[in-house]
Chains A and B, each alone.
Chain A
Amino acid sequence: MKTTKILIIFCVLLSLQLHAQKYFTRSGITQFEASEKAFEPIEAINTSTTVILDANNGNIVSQVFMAGFQFNNALMQEHFNENYMDSYQYPKATFKGNLDNFSLISFNANNSYDLNGLLTIKGLEKNIQTTVDVKVENDQIFISGSFFVSAKDFNIKIPSIVRDKIANQIQINIDYELIEKK
């Protein structure tokens, strides 16, 4: 009898906790930079990235809309959407992965975590392995870092006339501030 009671209480507590441990943002910042030195900067910023993190086990999903990338140059933005990314056919890029060994309960001062997962751009998947900085402050979780992807991996064709101006390795910077999802 006693054990059943304890078990029930435990289950209720567990479910409450599982429920309350999702952190998310709608306005994460994802930036990319594909500039070659000495040429015009090729970079854009997206401030509407959605990220959801399960704070119990470090599972993370995110999605970023191609149409949300803002360039300083209108023509570049047009080409990005129409020629390079086919934004109407593939409106978003997604990432599904895991922050290894992350748990909010046992969060420690060591704020470097390995992030592994599958990045999907234009319907093609690529495994990403990188290290990100994680900080917990005032009920918010901050995740930031950067990694490189190659245009070839996602079948992004770069015309030969601009090939020298666009870097092969494209740097992606992420900066997300997650709040608890109620």
Chain B
Amino acid sequence: MNLLKKNKAVFIIISIVILSVGIISIYQYISRSPKNTVDIAPEYRGNANEFNYLVTDNLSHWISKIVQITGKVTQVNEDGILLNGTIYCQFEDIHDLQSITENQNIVIKGKLVGFDELLMEIKLNQCIIIQ
């Protein structure tokens, strides 16, 4: 009888623990914030010109994907850079821009948001410098 009572108490305690762990992890899953560019492995690594062809070929495949692009800086603006004249990279932290000069080669990682038909360029945002 005593043993049964003890077992019951243990059982209740264990189920409370399991339940609260479950609730906490569900809550964390629901309320998690979006991942940063740094934490996501790129789906593509390569050259800006080649990437340009790939995006023109199948834009919808690349939307929201993280990519790592090597290219030449053709323009530096107040919040981003233009790579090879066709890919605009908006930076997560505009202080990163201070170290970038025109005509240098650069490797950046960012999220593709779409193809801008008004300016005819591919747009990446949340960019970070890799090299």
Contact = CB atoms under 8 A, between A and B. Distances in A.
Interface residues of B, number: 27
A48 B116 CA distance: 10
Interface-central residue, B59, B63, B119, by most chain A CB under 10 Å? B63
Contacts of B32: 73-75
Contacts, number: 73
Contacts of B29: 75
B34 A67 contact: no
A70 B34 contact: yes
B43 interface: no
A164 B123 CA distance: 35
B63 A87 contact: yes
Contact of A48 (B35, B117, B125): B125
Interface of B: 29-35, 59-60, 63-64, 77, 79-80, 88, 90, 111-119, 123, 125
Given A48-B90, A67-B111, A72-B33, 17 more contacts: A24-B119, A26-B90, A26-B116, A27-B80, A27-B90, A48-B123, A50-B118, A65-B113, A66-B114, A67-B114, A73-B31, A73-B32, A73-B33, A74-B35, A75-B32, A91-B59, A92-B114
